[in-house]
Every structure is written in structure tokens, then in C-alpha cells.
Structure 1
Amino acid sequence: MKKYIIVLLVSLLCSQSFAQQRSRINTGWEFVKHDLGGIWEAVRVAAKGSSESVPIWEEVTLPHCFNAQDAVNPDVNYYQGPGWYRTQLKLENPYSKGRILLHFEGAGQKTDVYVHTTKVGSHTGGYDEWTLDITDAVEAFKKTALYTSQFKGLIPISIRCDNSRDLQMIPSDLSDFNVYGGIYRYLNLVYVPQLSLEKLFVKAETDKDGKAGRVVVKGRFYDPGKVGKASITLHLRDPENKILQTLRVDVGNIDEDKFLAEFKIRSPKRWSPDQPAQYTVEAAVHGEEEYIHKEKIGFRHFEFLENGPFVLNGKRLLLRGTHRHEDHAGVAAAMSEGQIRQEMVMMKDMGVNFIRLGHYQQSRIVLDLCDSLGILVWEEIPWCRGGLGGDVYKEQARRMLTNMIEQHYNHPSVIIWGLGNENDWPGDFSEFDQDKIRAFMTELNTLSHTLDPSRKTAIRRCDFCRDIVDVYSPSIWAGWYRGVYTDYKRVSEEENKRVKHFLHVEWGGDSHARRHSEDPDNALQKIEKSQGADERSGDASLYGGSARVSKDGDWSESYICNLIDWHLKEQETMSWLSGTAYWPFKDFSTPVRPENPVPYMNQKGVVERDFTKKESYYVFQSYWAKEPMVHIYGHSWPVRWGKLGEEKMVKVFSNCDRAEIFLNGRSYGVKKRNSADFPAAGLRWNLVFESGKNMLEVRAWKGKTMLRDTVHFDYETRPWGKAAKLELSKVSSENGIAVLEAKLYDEKGVQCLDASDLISFSLSGDGKLIDDQGTSTGSRKVQLYNGRAIIRVEERRGNSVVGVSCPGVKTVFINL
């Protein structure tokens, strides 16, 4: 962990463009979640509390998302519509002839910006960056009497965001993720001189052997003052920030992108997941006022071998990947830099070396972290489901592809530009024409290679376009939407033969955190063995159709750990495999899954929406992580069950060489790890538990390093009958937060340990339920996990009554 922090600090110090006079505008904002009659309603001033003080604005900080809570509110559709932000800024440009810019790192989905009542610009697209020059409008407002009389030397800024449904805008509302609204990424105030660099395009390349490095630098100037020419000093710095080479160039006719310089370097330090070495190109634009622009780059050489593996810097690298949506408990898309960093470090600690950013361009913070941590990237535009729209729709797709490539061109982590996802999924338009989709996909593929010939193009799940792109990922969901997980290797081999470059992204299945099973593979007995493994129309539904684990399974962590364990075991033996990416790393909200155990949540993550690790996180670590680790399955399984004297399997996930298990202080022997020995790579024991309390301890060794892990649990030997009563108790209270647990019992008082009923929490009084989090312990409506469920309450030093209800059972209450 310490080495990651050092790498991240160095990256933050060196990576930002616009190194001078740039600041985030996070505070001082007000927000209203509906439309206004016009811009005048945002800027007029009335005494607070007066009858004219409408609408009522709330104070917020940026980033901010309309849908921080309602995206997972089990009782409503999430809000899609306009919302307004307003603030007043003290603007003092340090450059005598400089410009004032607002730089949006992302705002959803359509945005209008005003200086006082003057509209200065608009943008459509919720995921790419964009910049507005507000200088002229600011200077014009400063000349009015309002500037000094009413606004006291401050500049009123108003911003309207709108995520209303729009068929002519990507992504489709049929997509399996929310189309969020708000200024949900950082907004920056930037001062630049009259002549500056808008972008530096830096191509760093090396041969397979890494003996020769070449850096080609091109620039795009921002010259609203029509200076017309530029003088620049360019420095190439090594990973220790030492200047290797310096060039001084004079450039004329800067109205277009210009070649600036070429550096050659012998045997550069190559960028890789294990050693993500980053160089820096620094450009100083000389003029009446100097401007400095920095870009981080990396030297690496990669290729996808035909029907074979991925090669980085001349050596095979199995891409061990996952996916990321921009979504988190309590804030939705408005993740802070700290939260983003925590998420990416958790991925790296799990052993990830590859990520697909689904299904849209993501924050520059994410890409910077991928560069510094050593995570290869597939990034894509949000042409996702629904079909193909008209000219406005297609122009947005072209624009967003162009922006994504230009804005993330310099990142050494990026190896693939994604052109679409599930484009074989109709629904938005009356026409679904495969030939027209193929034609537009071909156009995007050509555009991508024109803008950036050095990266590959890819799509996932659109078989009638698989021959257009460089890399293709078909739909393979063995053991979830179709088939059984033991089909995985066979199906993958068949798909690999159909395309030149195969990369399997999206596999796995849902798991309801804290739900466990003594017989997790039971549903596989219902599956027809000839089903195949591709996801088809209706497979995500919990009703109808043929038997499938996604519908007929128990959604337990126990099952998904078996599925993941099998896949990872097989991947180690597939010498031709380029790599895979598990879908996804973290649970995320979605409007198309209201009936899931946590309503409106896609629960396929290996961590919950608040970063709580599921058991499956440790399965990945046991195969992928380099640091020694050991984990007994079942830390969130407080009660196991079975017959007295019955053997029960205990699984240990570890990357250590050997492990010894102890039950209630007695050793049951040492076993060696063998990844071919499923499950748990041979680290499993069949043990007989005592009725009542038990303790498991494991000791694992990797070389001379020894690690321990322990688990405490009860063993229930009594059978239970029909659910008859609920119990609600206060488990703990700390710092004003009470933890409540509901349990379901039969009429004899035995906990119904396989119960998965939907229950509802409610509160009356001074406290507040901590709900609408999209987690197993942060939802007022949630399916039970093994006959229990947890909710947290802000007590607020008052009196409250909390209730819990379940259909067919008497509602119970507790006084706090």
C-alpha cells in the first residue's frame, strides 16, 4: 500500500495540465432540483425567508449529482429532468490580457452556462471534458451598475444541467446504468494568458525490445487574442523528474494543430503494470506572460497476437481485469478524488492489471491513477443499447469519440478505444437496421484509427459487427445467464476461433452480500447442458424462460465464489487467452433492476457500493495478488447449519504455498496450494462442527512469511419450519449511529437461515434511517440474507420508533 501512495503523490504533483492558475470551484454553490421559468429567477435577489424568496435553494458542494439518493430509492423512479446551480465568484485574472475559463471535467447530460443573464455556452454529453471562455461576458457584466451595487464586485454564475430522457442522445435509457444529472465531476476555474496551449498531443513509442524510444509532440494553441505565432521551450523529464533533453522552437500559423518537436531516447524505462514508469513533457509558452503545460507519458509496446495472447514489451501478459462504473453509495456519480483513489487502489491490491471503463469516458483522475498504478485501459463511448438514432445522435457519438481520444491520448495505460456496447440490443427506435449499424460502426472505426493509429478498437456483444473492429468480445456468461460455469473454457475456445483478436470482457454473476449457502451449486442441476453461454433477450429477467442460475439460483456469495474460482482456475491454463475482465468491480445502481435483492442495484460487484468487500474479492486476490494473503471463507456468515456430526466444507482462499486449519484449537492438517485443484486451489477441509459456537483459524506460509485469519460462527443443528415471527434488536451504538438487526424465526424460535423474504424498515421520530445507499445494510427495502438484515440509524439524540415488516408476518417495533 505504501508504494502506491508514493506513486500517487508523485503523479498528482506532475500530471496536471494548466499547471498555473487553476483551482477547483467546490464550495459556495446553491442548487434547486427542478426547472426555472428563466435565467432571471436564478440571479434575482430576495431577502431570505421573504415571500419572494422562491424557489428554495439548498447549499451544496461540487461534485454533486441530482440522483445521490433517488437512484436507489425503492419506491420511485429516479429523477430525470433539469436542475440549476448558482454561485458568485470573485474573478481576478493575474494575466493582463488573459482569459477566464470554466473547465468542466464532466456534467450530465446537457448543460447551459450563464454569466448573470448572458448565456455563454452549452454542451451535450455527460462524460467528456469541455471548456468555456467566459471572459467577454464577465467584462461586459463588470461594466454594469449591478456589478458594484447588487453583487458587490462578484460575478454571478448559473448552470443548468438536464438529464431528461432523449432518444437522440447517447447513452440509451435502456442501458443497465443510470443516466445521471448534475455537475458530478470537478469544475475548475482556469486563468490563462492571451496565448496558451489548449492541448499537447504526445506520442511516446518504443520497439518491442525497448532499445529505442521516440517522443513526438504536437500542440493545439488557444489564441483568442490572435497573436498568430508562438515561441516554446520543451523539456523531456525522466521518471525521477530529471531533465533529459530540452528543445526551443518557434512556431508560426498556430491556427491549426502543429508539430512541435521530436525527442529520441535510448533504452527508455518502459511502462508496465509492475513498473509504471512515467516521463514528463513540459512545454513553456513564452510571451508577454509565460504559460506552462505538463503531460505525463510512458513508453510501452503492445500487440494482440492473432487468435492468441496479449504481448506487452515483448512478453506475454495475461490481462487480469475488471470494470468500473462511476457510482457510489450516498453520492451516485459525484465521487470525490479520495473515493476514486480508494477504489482504484483496492483494484490494484486485488491484482488487477486491466480495466474496461464502462460504458463511457471517465474522469481524468481515473486515467491518471491507471497510469501511476499500472492498470491497462479499454475506454469507450456511451453508444450503448437501443439501436441507432438520426443525425443528431450520430454527431454526438462522433464528437464524444473525438473528445475521448484527444483528451486521453497521452495516457500510457490506454490500449483500446471502445466504439460501443451491446449494439445488437434494439428498443429506442422503430427501425433496427443491421446494415446501418454496421455502416456507422465502420465510420467510427475509421475515425478512431485516423485520430489515433497506435491503439486498437473494440466492441462488446454485437456479432454482426465483430469483423469491423480490431478486438472483439462476445457474450459469455457461463453459469449465470446461460449454461454452467464448467462450460467456460470450451465456449471461450470456440469464440476465439471466430475472430482474429478475442478478449473476454463481462463475466460473472450477481451475489447478495452477506447471503451464504450450504449447497450453492444446487441450481446447476436444473440447467440444460446444451444451452451455450451467451446472454440472450430476457435472460436478465427474474421471470419466465428456460432455467438459468440468474433466475433460479440463490444469489449467494457462496455460489459466485465457486463460479469465479472455476473461471480463474481455467484462465491459468488457457495459454492462447489474451485476458478477461470481470463485470464489475463494485455494485452499481441501475433503473432496469427494481426487483433485485437490493432494489435498483446491479449486484455483480466483488465489493458493495460503499467499498465493503464481498467474499469474492479474496478469491481474486488468491489468484492475482502479489502480496501474501489468506482469508477463510465466511466472515459475514454468522450462523452455519446442518446435521449434528455432518462434515462441512471449510474453504481458505490464499496465494500462499501451504496452509494449516484449526477448528476450536485443534489442527486438522496442512495442505498445499494447487490452482488446478478446485475449489479453493486445494485449500479446503471437511470438518465436523460443534453445535453452538465454533472458531476457525488458518495459518498460511509463503516462504518465511506466515499469516493468520480467524472466523467465529454458530452452528445450528435444529431444523426450522415456516416463518412465523420477526425480531428487531439493537446490535450496537457508536458516535450516534445505531446498528439494528432484523431476524426471521419459525414458531419454535429457530432462525429461518435460508429465508430470503423482502422486508421493509421504517422510522418515526427524531432519528433517520441511513437508507437509499444501495447496499445490503443501507436499504429500507431489502431481501433477507440467511434470515436476517441490518439497517443503521442516525439517533440524533432524540426518540424514535423503528419498525420492520415482512409479508405474512406481524410487524415489530423497537424504541430508540
Structure 2
Amino acid sequence: MLKKIKYITLLSLLFTSKLLLAQQSVRLNNNWEFLRQDLGGIWEAVRPVGLGNPEAVPIWQSVTLPHCVNALDAVDPEVNYYQGPSWYRTQLAINNPYQKGRTILHFEGAGQKTEVYVYTTKVAAHVGGYDEWTVDITDAVAEFEKTEVYKKQFKGKIPVSIRTDNSRDLEMIPSDLSDFNVYGGIYRYLNLVYAPALSVDKLFAKAEVDAQGKLGKLNVHAQFYNPKGIDKATIQLQLLDPSGKLLAKSNKKLDALSGNLDLWTFELKKPQLWSTDKPAQYTVQYEVISSAGNAKGEEKVGFRHIDFIEKGPFNLNGKRLLLRGTHRHEDHAGVGSAMTEPMIRQEMQMMKDMGVNFIRLGHYQQSRIVLNLCDSLGILVWEEIPWCRGGLGGEVYKQQARRMLTNMVEQHYNHPSIVIWGLGNENDWPGDFPEFDKEKIRTFMKELNDLSHKIDPARYTAIRRCDFCSDIVDVYSPSIWAGWYRGAYTDYKKATEEEFAKVKRFLHVEWGGDSHALRHSENPDKALSKIKTGGSADERAGDASLYGGAARISKDGDWSESYIANLIDWHLKEQENMPWLSGTAYWPFKDFSTAIRPDNPVPYMNQKGVVERDFTKKESYYVFQSYWTEKPMVHIYGHTWPVRWGDEGEEKMVKVYSNCSEAEIFLNGKSFGSKKRNSQDYPAAGLRWNLPFLKGENTVNVIAKKGKETVTDEIKFNYQTEKWGKPNRLVLKKIAQQDDVATVEVKLYDDKNVQCLDAINWINFGLTGDGKLIDNQGTSSGSRKVQAYNGRAIIKVKLNKGTSIVSVRSDGLKTVFTEL
């Protein structure tokens, strides 16, 4: 056994040293083993298999990082997702190029409590699932390398074991009452970093410019990681413009290497400004030269001026910018929170392509990859700590909140995209503690507000939905859910004006509603006739329930894509005529999993996204594009609506979403005229036609023009005039196959063999044989239990080059089977 050594958890070493990480860092993605349960002790992770232990018990499985413990069970309709300890283990070949250098494990995020072991020695522990942190394993490695076990059992490699734990804990944030899963695992990248004995711990590069953009100022200060107490060094700094041209450099000798050291102040005239349209980034490069060797790094910065005007809009670089925003949860089909860099890049580009210039990262610090992309794409950011729901805990709870706020601000300090530090979300939501004391919550909110401003005086603070703390922060967002949890969407502007009048600076984040992808409606606004309008549009306790209480769209609506497209359309056309509005952020961009919504059409999913959990676009994505983008686009509503219905000869509305000035529609090759776009002509900005569909197959085309550019779109569908009764039977068929993956579809018919196009029966898919259902994806077409959409449901099957029997069960109907 190794003698237990003193260990250090370096909370922010190398977080900002991007070039150093690139040169001296390796992502530890491969050669991991995983166990989803606890061990009897660390010895079970490293004991040899051999005499006396012929079998490895428990059985570990091979995985790659990033990895989420709840990749599939988060949306399993039959179980609660696992919350508890899990273990990861690997063996590392350590080859530090620096003489007396430091060997460091850099966690970009692991949840929610983590312990790190070298062989049997515990070298670090961390609480918090979303901030970055590091572990210096140098001394533990050196001790282990002296042992016979190192040479004989591990053949010159270092055994590293990591225990993660997302067990429920009332003294930890976020609360398990939150409307998202508190995931477990090493779900962001883990890096092996080599650094010299003296390196930069934190480097802060503050870029400022006046509102006119005439004078820019850069101030650089830093803290060093210096475990060996080196007392002399030289730091060389240089500033490069966005094209890579050298603008200035500095050379400074350092005699004291402790504390926060001011390194360089530089002024430049008329810097290229960072904006959402042209996100120009400068580069600060540094090199620390000492007896320990040279440590290099770089930081990207942007010169921009921000101003949330009191009782007014938001200004960027002296001009009004309407913040057109959305939200992001770290969640994806098949992987849970363990999104890879290519996935993150695809998601952020999809947001930008939708026209987003602002994002609120809900409800926790997110990956450095996300922030880097916001910088480079031109997306302004509200980032917040996970003090979310439940109330206020004790000192352990508060200390975690303070630590996570400090880490978030310091680790993301240099990103020009960030304009707001969020201090909490729905802190008026009790439940985790016997006491719910508003004054104590106010006191702690004031403390966090002061802490944020002390670390970073240049950015604003904000919270969402805690009215009794609205006066504490710089920017406040109340709860306004017009047309979903309360009232009709036509109440939106009035409700917003009333809330705007109550606070100093207003920003509306979280609005929208759920839509079950692939479900469409000929009369989506029907339920509005039941709704009380003209009153409050906030969300209250119980409003998210599908049962009981007053009439509300969230309970009584049809959850169709058609309704949400109308709701979004109305909000966006209103926002164009609210000159005092700073902006809004739709909740959220992508559907995500949540433990508190087991009864939704896709169980355990919050379905408010404009794209599904696997990036499949819903129709509402194009509504946003039509208002927010410049590149010519046109989209006919209904690409995923295979059968429309109505009376023979009845004219049916076709809506076209486009940012073009005019469009011409064609039905079955015949023109039905052109129309001009007018954003205030609701719905579809005037681009709507009532067309006489033919019974059977129809084709609709549109040609839209913007200046000299022309764009087109086409949809095909059947028009059903037969009326249907109650669902009487199920019909299951294979409708497609690509390589070794088959797609099956079940439809519901009445006793006269007419498809029931409004049927929403629960569908339960099953399978036996060689294949496997591609389920637990959290999507409308990737769930073995799902509500039907327009009398049908689909799922894919991995055939594994064999034979399988697929079954479909629905209460009250005969179970059906088909062979694949």
C-alpha cells in the first residue's frame, strides 16, 4: 500500500492556457473501464486477477470518454434514472517532458461529486458537476513508481481510478426538484496535462472600449501555479489583431510570484469591435520563462461595449441590439450529457443558422467548447450557476454556490461573448428544506451579487423568476408563459409591458411551449376558447402538470407543432414593435430529458425545443429563421405531415415561412398567386394561402424572391376526406431499410379501415430476436413508449443481420406483430 500523501486540488490551473493545453495536453478518451455501482473500496479497482481471484467481480465494461452514466436510462419509460456512485478506471503511461514538471489531470466537468485515486491513494475530491478543475498527480505518481507493484502488475503504467456520484443530496446544488436531470459520469473531456514547475494558473485579459469604439484598453493580470516556490521569472506578452498581425509586445521580469500580479496595460485606437455580426477576436500570447522551463499560452479577447439601459433596450457598441435568444441544456439523444465536440459544434452552428445572437446557458456553467463557439460565432451569453429551485441550504450548500460562482467567473472571464453572470433560477421554489425564509434567500443573493461584481465589475448580474429578489441583481427576468402555462399568446405584449414597468432592467428569458414532434393539427388553436385571457401569464406551482387545475394550453392543448408555430409566430411579430425591449430567449433550443415529466408524450422529456433531442428540426425552427435571418430562406409548413384532412372541396390554409419579400405558391402545378411579406400580418407574415386540395396526393411548391435571389421549397402529402371513428385496430409495417437498420410504422384505424388522424393513443413497441430497438433516445421516433402523432408512430430497429419480431401494444387494442 502506498503511504497516504498530501494532495492539492488546483481549482483553476491552466483553465485559460489554451495554447499550453494544445501543446502539452492529451484528451484521455480511450481505454477506460466503467462500473455503474459502488465498490467495496478502492482496492477492488486495482487488485490483480489471478490466484485466489480467478474472475473479475464485479464486471467492468469498456467505454470511451466523455461518458454519461445516464446516457440511456434518463429517458427509459420504465425506470427512474440511476442516481448513485459509479467508477471509471484506466492505466496511464506518464512521460512528462519537463524536468521536475507537474503532471495534471484536467477535468472539464464531471458529475456530481468526484474522487480521484492513483493506485490506492486518494489524491483529490471535488463537489460540483459543471465547473472545471484539476488534480496534480505528480507526487502520487512518483511514490507509486517506487513500488514493485508498478513494475510487476502494471508494467510501468499508472493505475488511475475515478469515482463519480450523482446521488440525491439536499445540501448540494442543483436541486433534484429542478426540471432537468442531475447527471453522473465523466461527461466532459478529461485531459492529461504536462506543465513546468512554474506555469500560469489563471490569466485574466480585460479588453475594454468606449461606446464610440474610439479607444480600446487591454489589462492583463495573472496568478501563477508555483508549487516549488520559484522566485524569479520573465513573462513575455504580445497582442495580435484578428488577422494575426503583431500589434504590441511586453517583456516583464518578475521577482514575486504569488498573488494576483498586474502584468501589462496597453491602449489601442479604434480596435476592430467584437459584435454578433462580426465577432472579431484579438489574441493575447504569453510565455513564462524560468529555471523550470518555458510555459506558453494564449487567450482570445474581444473589444466590445455593452449597456443594458435602465428602463430601456440593450446596446452593443453604442447601438441598440434586440437580443434574439434561446437556451441550451447539455443533453443529447443516446449520450445524455456526454456530448462530443463535433456534436456541440453542430448544435451551436444550428443555433446561429436559426438567427440566434444570444443564449442563456441553463442552468449551470457549460463546456469551454460552448463558450469558445459563442465567441467565434457571435452569440452573446448569460451563464449561470446551478442554484436552481428547492430553497436555501446550510453552510455546505452556500459554500458550493460561492465556489461555483467564483470558478465560473474566473474560468470564463476572458470570453467576449459573456455579458451576464446568472446567480440563480426559480429561487422562489421551495421544497428541499423545512424552512423557506425569503429574507435569508435575499441575504444570500446579495452576497452572491456582491461577489460577482467584486470578481468582475464589468459584467451584469441576473436571475430569473424570484420576484422578491428582483431588486438585488442588475437585470431581472420574470416568468411570462403567455399561451402555455397561463392565458393566450395574444396576452404576451400586455404581460410583458406590465413586468417591464416593475424592474430596473428587463430581459425576458423562457417562453414558448411543448410540441410533440411529428404531431400536426388542422385546428391547433381550438383549446384557446377554454382559456381565461387578460390576466397574469406567469407559471405557478402545478401548471406543468397534465392533470387538474384551471384550463391551460399546457394541459388542454393538443401539443402539436402547428400550435407552437402559431405561438412563436405571434411572439416574434410582437417583438418587432417593442422598441423598449432588450430581448428574449426562447426555452429551449433542443428537447431535453427531465425526471419530473414522466407522463409527457415522450416520457421523461421536456419537449419545448425547436429541434428534437437528436437535432431533427421541428417546423418551429423555420418560423424563427423567417424573422431572424438574412440569408434567403423559404419553408412550407408541413414537411413531416404526411396526411392532411378535411371535407372534399374545402379550402385549407397553407403557411409559408420566409424572410423573402414575396412568394408565389403552386398547388399541383397551378399558381395561386404571389403575396408580399409583412411581419405584422399574422400568421406567417402574410405568406398564407387557402387552397383547394384534391382527394389523395397533392404537391405544393413555393418560389420566393429576395432581391435578385430566388429560393424554393416543396412538400407532398395525401388529403383524406373520409371521416373516422374510434381507433379499432393497429397495422404494423416495415416502411424503410437502410443498411442494417429498418424503420417500422404503426397506424391506428377505425372499424371501417379509415386512419384515425387525431388518435393520440399510447404506443408500446417491443422486440424479440437478433435485433434491437433503437429506443431510449428521447425523440418521437426513438422511444418504445410514445404517444401517437396523427394516428401513427415509428421506430427504428438495428437488425444485427438477423431475424426479429417487432410487436406493438396499445391499451384496448389487439397487439400486432411483424417479422423483420
**Shorter-chain TM-score: what band?**
over 0.9
| Structure 1 residues 528-607: aligned runs within 5 Å | 528-607=532-611
CA, structure 1 residues 466+31, in 2 after alignment: closer, same or farther (shift >3 Å)?
same
For residues 107 and 630 of structure 2, the distance between their equivalents in structure 1, rounded to whole angstroms, comes to 38
Structure 2 residue 558 is the aligned partner of structure 1 residue 522: no
Contact 2:775 2:782 in 1 (8 A): yes
Structure 2 residue 175 is the aligned partner of structure 1 residue 168: no
CA, structure 1 residues 16+660, in 2 after alignment: closer, same or farther (shift >3 Å)?
farther
From 142, 147, 150, the equivalent of 1:147 is 150
| Cα deviation digits, residues 570-589 of structure 1 (max 9, x gap) | 00000000000000000000
For residues 187 and 513 of structure 2, the distance between their equivalents in structure 1, rounded to whole angstroms, comes to 29
Secondary structure of 1:809's counterpart equals: coil
Partner of 2:118: 115
Secondary structure of 1:199's counterpart equals: strand
Alpha-carbon distance, 1:242 to partner: 1.4
For residues 387 and 175 of structure 2, the distance between their equivalents in structure 1, rounded to whole angstroms, comes to 8
AA at the equivalent of 1:445: N
Structure 1: unaligned runs, 5 residues or longer = 1-12
For residues 93 and 25 of structure 2, the distance between their equivalents in structure 1, rounded to whole angstroms, comes to 14
Partner of 2:134: 131
CA, structure 1 residues 374+48, in 2 after alignment: closer, same or farther (shift >3 Å)?
farther
| Cα deviation digits, residues 367-393 of structure 1 (max 9, x gap) | 000000000000000000000000000
| Structure 1 residues 121-270: aligned runs within 5 Å | 121-270=124-273
Contact 2:17 2:203 in 1 (8 A): no
Partner of 2:808: 804
Secondary structure of 2:566's counterpart equals: helix
CA, structure 1 residues 53+15, in 2 after alignment: closer, same or farther (shift >3 Å)?
closer
AA at the equivalent of 1:126: G
| Cα deviation digits, residues 67-101 of structure 1 (max 9, x gap) | 00000000000000000000000001000110000
For residues 79 and 378 of structure 2, the distance between their equivalents in structure 1, rounded to whole angstroms, comes to 41
Partner of 1:472: 476
| Cα deviation digits, residues 341-385 of structure 1 (max 9, x gap) | 000000000000000000000000000000000000000000000
Contact 2:17 2:297 in 1 (8 A): no
Contact 1:18 1:294 in 2 (8 A): no
Partner of 1:656: 660
Secondary structure of 2:48's counterpart equals: coil
For residues 144 and 361 of structure 2, the distance between their equivalents in structure 1, rounded to whole angstroms, comes to 41
AA at the equivalent of 1:787: G
From 755, 758, 768, the equivalent of 2:772 is 768
| Cα deviation digits, residues 119-167 of structure 1 (max 9, x gap) | 0000000000001100000000000011111110000000000000000
Contact 1:19 1:292 in 2 (8 A): no
Which range moves more in the overlay, 46-55 or 232-241? Answer: 46-55
Which range moves more in the overlay, 31-40 or 529-538? Answer: 529-538
Contact 2:37 2:85 in 1 (8 A): yes
Partner of 1:670: 674
Secondary structure of 1:20's counterpart equals: helix
For residues 356 and 452 of structure 1, the distance between their equivalents in structure 2, rounded to whole angstroms, comes to 19
For residues 344 and 136 of structure 1, the distance between their equivalents in structure 2, rounded to whole angstroms, comes to 40
For residues 72 and 487 of structure 1, the distance between their equivalents in structure 2, rounded to whole angstroms, comes to 34
AA at the equivalent of 1:610: D
For residues 529 and 141 of structure 1, the distance between their equivalents in structure 2, rounded to whole angstroms, comes to 70
Partner of 1:507: 511
From 407, 410, 425, the equivalent of 1:406 is 410
Structure 2 residue 496 is the aligned partner of structure 1 residue 497: no
Partner of 2:683: 679
Alpha-carbon distance, 1:15 to partner: 5.2
Secondary structure of 1:417's counterpart equals: strand
Partner of 1:323: 327
Structure 2 residue 340 is the aligned partner of structure 1 residue 336: yes
Contact 2:17 2:296 in 1 (8 A): no
Partner of 1:95: 98
| Cα deviation digits, residues 286-314 of structure 1 (max 9, x gap) | 02311101110000001011111000001
| Structure 1 residues 40-55: aligned runs within 5 Å | 40-46=43-49, 51-55=54-58
CA, structure 1 residues 529+157, in 2 after alignment: closer, same or farther (shift >3 Å)?
same
AA at the equivalent of 2:142: E
Secondary structure of 2:564's counterpart equals: helix
For residues 55 and 678 of structure 2, the distance between their equivalents in structure 1, rounded to whole angstroms, comes to 73
Partner of 1:702: 706
Which range moves more in the overlay, 727-736 or 228-237? Answer: 228-237
TM-score (norm 1): 0.98
CA, structure 1 residues 50+709, in 2 after alignment: closer, same or farther (shift >3 Å)?
farther
| Cα deviation digits, residues 5-45 of structure 1 (max 9, x gap) | xxxxxxxx995553431110000100000000000000112
Alpha-carbon distance, 1:263 to partner: 1.2
From 420, 428, 450, the equivalent of 2:454 is 450
For residues 416 and 266 of structure 2, the distance between their equivalents in structure 1, rounded to whole angstroms, comes to 17
Partner of 1:360: 364
Partner of 1:689: 693
AA at the equivalent of 2:803: N
AA at the equivalent of 2:212: D
Contact 2:19 2:296 in 1 (8 A): no
Secondary structure of 1:490's counterpart equals: helix
Contact 1:109 1:124 in 2 (8 A): yes
CA, structure 1 residues 47+616, in 2 after alignment: closer, same or farther (shift >3 Å)?
farther
TM-score (norm 2): 0.97
| Structure 1 residues 21-100: aligned runs within 5 Å | 21-46=24-49, 51-100=54-103
AA at the equivalent of 2:600: N
Secondary structure of 1:427's counterpart equals: coil
Contact 2:748 2:792 in 1 (8 A): yes
CA, structure 1 residues 33+163, in 2 after alignment: closer, same or farther (shift >3 Å)?
same
Alpha-carbon distance, 1:47 to partner: 5.2
Alpha-carbon distance, 1:472 to partner: 0.1
Contact 1:728 1:742 in 2 (8 A): yes
Structure 2 residue 438 is the aligned partner of structure 1 residue 434: yes
For residues 529 and 73 of structure 1, the distance between their equivalents in structure 2, rounded to whole angstroms, comes to 37
Secondary structure of 2:568's counterpart equals: helix
From 476, 482, 489, the equivalent of 2:486 is 482
For residues 197 and 20 of structure 1, the distance between their equivalents in structure 2, rounded to whole angstroms, comes to 15
Alpha-carbon distance, 1:799 to partner: 1.1
CA, structure 1 residues 93+681, in 2 after alignment: closer, same or farther (shift >3 Å)?
same
Secondary structure of 1:395's counterpart equals: helix
From 275, 278, 287, the equivalent of 1:275 is 278
Secondary structure of 2:23's counterpart equals: coil
Alpha-carbon distance, 1:252 to partner: 2.4
Structure 2 residue 739 is the aligned partner of structure 1 residue 735: yes
Alpha-carbon distance, 1:255 to partner: 1.6
| Cα deviation digits, residues 538-581 of structure 1 (max 9, x gap) | 00000111000000000000000000000000000000000000
RMSD between superposed Cα atoms in Å = 1.1
AA at the equivalent of 2:633: M
AA at the equivalent of 1:136: D
Contact 2:602 2:779 in 1 (8 A): yes
Partner of 1:5: none
For residues 754 and 229 of structure 1, the distance between their equivalents in structure 2, rounded to whole angstroms, comes to 76
For residues 24 and 54 of structure 2, the distance between their equivalents in structure 1, rounded to whole angstroms, comes to 41
Secondary structure of 1:620's counterpart equals: helix
Partner of 2:644: 640
Partner of 1:10: none
For residues 308 and 612 of structure 1, the distance between their equivalents in structure 2, rounded to whole angstroms, comes to 36
For residues 465 and 381 of structure 2, the distance between their equivalents in structure 1, rounded to whole angstroms, comes to 18
